[in-house]
Amino acid sequence: MAVPADPAIDEDEEEHVGPTHHPYAPSHDEFFDLSTTVDPSYIISLIRKLLPLDSASVIEAASHGPNQGSLTHNTQEGAASSAPVSTDKNLKSSSKNKSENMDVDGSGEFSHRQGEYESGDDGDGFEHSSVSVGQNAWEEYGCILWDLAASKTHAELMVENLMLEVLLANLTVCKSERVTEISIGIIGNLACHEVPRKRIFSTDGLMGIILDKLFLDDPQCLCETCRLLTVGLQSGESITLAETLQSEHILRQILWIAENTLNLQLLEKSIGLILAILESQQKVVDILIPPMMKLGLANILINLLTFEISKLLDERIPERYSILELILRAIEALSVMDDHSQEVCSSKELFQLICNLVKFPDKVEVGNCCVTAAVLIANMLSDVADHASEISQDLCLLGGLLDIFPYASDDVEARNALWSVIARILIRIQTEMSPSSVYHYVSVLVKKIDLIEDELLNEQVDSGHEQERLSCPGSTADARKTSLRRIISILNQWTVAKENAENNMNAEGSVSETDLKRLLDCCHKFSK
């Protein structure tokens, strides 16, 4: 691309400065002290190839931005940066040494020859000027940089050499959805590293134009935008980002995407973004959650859960399991927020949904989802006690809760939640029950003896601080002891019923005496 000549340089001097439209990379020995298997000059050559046809915006950004270096014209300040961009004065001297290491065309130039494209429109999403690479080449170079940006060393080199300014210019002038996706994808990878991430949020206009991309119709662009925002919310820049996101039209659009998209990848990314907001630090939650709740966040999550569970019951599509888990985690996070939990926990529809999920027979595929559902049930029971009465007679739910223990073996909080729910169910069972009712409870418990025993042994192995937990009201040990004592009571009722000849005649079935005794001994041992 042609760059206006510096008025301070006369025509004779300009001849010795070197071509400004495709400058060579600086000497590695002179400018770089980086540990990398990729030549820094190669990365810089790729950045140059991404310059949009009209690079005035890049030049302007470079002259006012934090790096004050340039990919296109010489500035004295640029040479002073920690990983400096090249200046025209140095380019000429380093060209012979570095040209062999770069990805160059046959003429040794970094971009197409000046005049290769004439003014007009070739339909590739760019407006023409005299110098550029075509869109296919741009996409190829962009994807290479996208991959390289995953490395901290490469990412820091990129931002020191105006990568963000180049991408901002492309996002500003480009109409290509693919170029937009790649640009935001590169920024998303850069945001995974602290130094580039800080530069992203300090680059004037960059986050604003990225947020504008939330209103595109292209799923891949939206996926990369949601991914970038999620990374930002999980970082030290979360408060800055939250203040940028807090406008109602942005939050409404995020919720609209999650509620309406049919693209599974975008659905997962958008719900992941909502979860990142819910799980962020308190100040971010205080900024974003109240307006999102007013926009219907709770109802949207419940509606999404309804749909995913219906899909699980009817079709069992593996690609949807991760989406189901994200929705459950989002609702679970909302259920423990003091100012917003009531709206979630009081929902009978939600309570029924998660109970149905716990009762889902094939937990191998959705075990993690069921663990989250159990935690959510425990949260709801703590907030709305009436829910416990609704499930006290649900034997399928009791069996389903016991089935979850193997999937929660490494999660103390989840095991605590499971014992808490089981205890709340069992303490509501009447002391005096008909032999038929006793039989059904005993039958469920005895069938799950291996799960119960494994969980109790697992707890014993993990209980290095058992005495400390025993002294804490509401702890795992407290809920577990209550549950075991209630199980002992039910098993004893069955024994009494069998010894009574009249009641025994009315019993609906038989239970293995060996298994019953084994369960009784186990409960006695761990209830002490």
Token pair recorded at residue 86: 């090249």
- What pLDDT shows up at residue 462? 61
- What pLDDT shows up at residue 36? 52
426/449 Cα distance (integer angstroms): 16
Dihedral of alpha carbons 518, 519, 521, 525, sign: positive
**Centroid of chain to Cα 312:** 22
Token pair recorded at residue 203: 């680059």
141/42 Cα distance (integer angstroms): 11
What's 100's DSSP letter?
G
- CA distances 451 to 356, 359, 415, 422, Å, are 20, 16, 13, 14
Token pair recorded at residue 356: 């149905």
pTM of the model: 0.78
- Residue pLDDT tens, the chain, 528 long: 443 444 443 444 443 333 333 334 444 344 444 455 788 999 999 999 999 865 554 545 444 444 444 454 333 333 223 333 333 333 233 333 333 333 333 333 333 333 333 333 444 444 443 334 688 899 999 999 999 999 999 999 999 999 999 999 999 998 899 999 999 999 999 999 999 999 999 999 999 999 999 999 999 999 999 999 999 999 999 999 999 999 999 999 999 999 999 999 999 999 999 999 999 999 999 999 999 999 999 999 999 999 999 999 888 899 999 999 999 999 999 999 988 999 999 999 999 999 999 999 989 989 999 999 999 999 999 988 888 888 988 999 999 999 999 999 889 889 999 999 999 999 888 777 788 888 899 999 999 999 999 999 887 666 544 444 443 445 567 889 999 999 999 999 888 877 774 555 555 567 888 999 999 999 999 987
